[in-house]
């Protein structure tokens, strides 16, 4: 297969030292007890980066498995679950709740901004009989960033557990799991962590563990059952064969982050994202969001007469570059630039903006100036 550079909001570019880590010889993870300890250490390193002392597990599967496993493990038939929806993934949680027999109560908000915390507060005064609630940290298809700092503690006031999808948020945006009292925080390796696709990440609070222990009915899954890992470190035994190369790669990717420093990584994302947003607007395009924009991805509205899908196709064919449109009802409306993890560097953004600028001009759009130069000007100012 021919290689195509890609600037979608994940999977992101993987640094060479991470790619090389996958080529190392690995031990048999079923019989090598040392591997169990190594796995545990990488889980703890992941927890450090997520800001939690809670148990962290790496599941063999990509990010979606984390969301499904959280819902499978918490939901019992008839459980009411509050699904906070202001985006495609936000709404999508209702399906996982239903699959496992729960009753999702979907509270929908405008997709053009963050979940309004005050409206949730008012709603909870009337109805708070929920086992848990779900929301997305960064809902990637529209790039909205929700206030985990306020939402989880608010839900916790009512004893409602929280499941937060931070697959496209963590590392690019602070998530601070313990400080924000998030019960199950979900992640994936292929977004801002910039490791290959392959592992799902979950952190599990004591309250979430209690909820699983106190179930009256068994969890109706094996692979999505978080309890199969219970006591694995003491037993020195993992419930299924782990993709050891993925764990090695994640380990190195996490070291890259720690070496740069987490605050520096956040700053890098902020600086790049701010300059992208500024340049896109100066160029004459509109951002999809009114406010609460994530620093990991930018969603740009493509004029109807051009169409996001036609632009994507044109850029892929003419310039051999993969750029992302969006999902569902936004597929032909939004163009997304993923500037997270290894893709949040000036050279990469200049490259992708140059090609987008050319692609748009080829299709008849008249931008105000040179998009990449506008980006560099804004970047220098900040």
Q: Are strands 138-139 and 144-145 parallel, antiparallel or unpaired?
A: antiparallel
CA dihedral 300, 306, 307, 311 (to 10 degrees): -80
When binding is defined by CB under 6 A, the residue of 60, 64, 106, 309 that contacts ligand PLP is 64
336 annotated as ligand-binding = yes
**Smallest separation, CB 137 to ligand PLP (Å):** 8
CB-count exposure of residue 112 (10 Å: 0-12, 13-18, 19+): middle
* C-beta nearest to ligand PLP: residue: 63
Q: Which stretch binds ligand PLP (CB under 6 A): 108-116, 134-142, 173-181, 246-254?
A: 134-142
Give 51 or 61: the residue with its C-beta nearer to ligand PLP. Answer: 61
Instruction: For residue 68, state whether it binds ligand PLP (rule: CB under 6 A).
Output: no
Q: Looking at 100-243, list the stretches that DSSP marks H as alpha helix, in order from N- to C-terminal side.
A: 117-126, 148-157, 206-213, 232-235
Give 114 or 359: the residue with its C-beta nearer to ligand PLP. Answer: 114
Give 272 or 374: the residue with its C-beta nearer to ligand PLP. Answer: 272
**Smallest separation, CB 308 to ligand PLP (Å):** 17
**Smallest separation, CB 100 to ligand PLP (Å):** 18
Distance CA 111, CA 114 (A): 8
Give the sheet arrangement for strand 132-136, strand by strand. 55-60, 199-204, 184-188, 161-165, 132-136, 80-85, 103-108
Distance CA 69, CA 53 (A): 20
Instruction: For residue 187, state whether it binds ligand PLP (rule: CB under 6 A).
Output: no
Binding to ligand PLP in span 350-369, by CB under 6 A: none
Binding to ligand PLP in span 150-179, by CB under 6 A: 165, 167-168
Question: For residue 143, which of 236, 33, 9, 266 has the smallest C-alpha distance?
Answer: 9
Instruction: For residue 62, state whether it binds ligand PLP (rule: CB under 6 A).
Output: yes
Give 73 or 140: the residue with its C-beta nearer to ligand PLP. Answer: 140
Q: Are strands 297-301 and 286-287 parallel, antiparallel or unpaired?
A: antiparallel
Distance CA 22, CA 16 (A): 10
Q: Which residues are paired to 49 by β-bridges?
A: none
Instruction: For residue 10, state whether it binds ligand PLP (rule: CB under 6 A).
Output: yes
Point out the annotated binding site: 336
Interaction site with ligand PLP (CB under 6 A): 10, 62-64, 89, 136, 139-140, 165, 167-168, 188, 191
Point out the annotated binding site for substrate: 336
């Amino acid at each position: 297969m021919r290689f195509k550079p890609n600037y979608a909001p994940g999977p992101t570019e993987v640094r060479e030292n991470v790619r090389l880590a996958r080529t190392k010889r690995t031990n048999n993870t079923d019989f090598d007890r040392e591997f169990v300890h190594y796995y545990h250490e990488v889980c703890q390193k992941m927890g450090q980066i997520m800001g939690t002392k809670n148990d962290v597990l790496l599941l063999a599967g990509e990010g979606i498995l984390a969301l499904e496993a959280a819902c499978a493990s918490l939901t019992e038939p008839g459980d009411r679950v509050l699904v906070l929806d202001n985006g495609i993934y936000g709404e999508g949680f209702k399906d996982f709740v239903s699959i496992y027999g729960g009753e999702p109560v979907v509270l929908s908000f405008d997709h053009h901004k963050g979940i309004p915390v005050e409206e949730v507060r008012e709603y909870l005064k009337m109805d708070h009989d929920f086992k848990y609630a779900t929301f997305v940290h960064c809902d990637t298809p529209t790039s909205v960033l929700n206030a985990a700092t306020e939402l989880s503690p608010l839900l916790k006031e009512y004893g409602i557990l929280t499941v937060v999808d931070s697959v496209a948020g963590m590392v690019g945006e602070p998530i601070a799991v313990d400080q924000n009292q998030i019960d199950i925080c979900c992640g994936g390796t292929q977004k801002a962590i910039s490791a290959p696709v392959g592992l799902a990440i979950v952190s599990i609070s004591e309250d979430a563990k209690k909820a699983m222990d106190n179930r009256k009915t068994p969890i109706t899954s094996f692979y999505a059952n978080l309890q199969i890992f219970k006591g694995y470190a003491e037993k020195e035994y993992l419930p299924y064969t782990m993709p050891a190369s993925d764990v090695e790669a994640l380990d190195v990717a996490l070291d890259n982050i720690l070496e740069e420093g987490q605050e520096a990584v956040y700053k890098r994302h902020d600086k790049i994202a701010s300059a992208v947003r500024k340049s896109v607007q100066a160029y004459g395009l509109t951002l999809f969001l009114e406010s609460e924009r994530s620093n990991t991805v930018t969603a740009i509205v493509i004029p109807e007469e051009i169409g996001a899908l036609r632009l994507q196709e044109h850029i892929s064919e003419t310039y051999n570059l993969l750029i992302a449109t969006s999902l569902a009802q936004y597929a032909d409306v939004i163009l997304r630039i993923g500037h997270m993890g290894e893709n949040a560097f000036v050279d990469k953004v200049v490259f992708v903006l140059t090609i987008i600028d050319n692609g748009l001009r080829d299709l008849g759009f008249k931008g105000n100036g040179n998009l990449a130069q506008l980006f560099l000007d804004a970047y220098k100012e900040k």
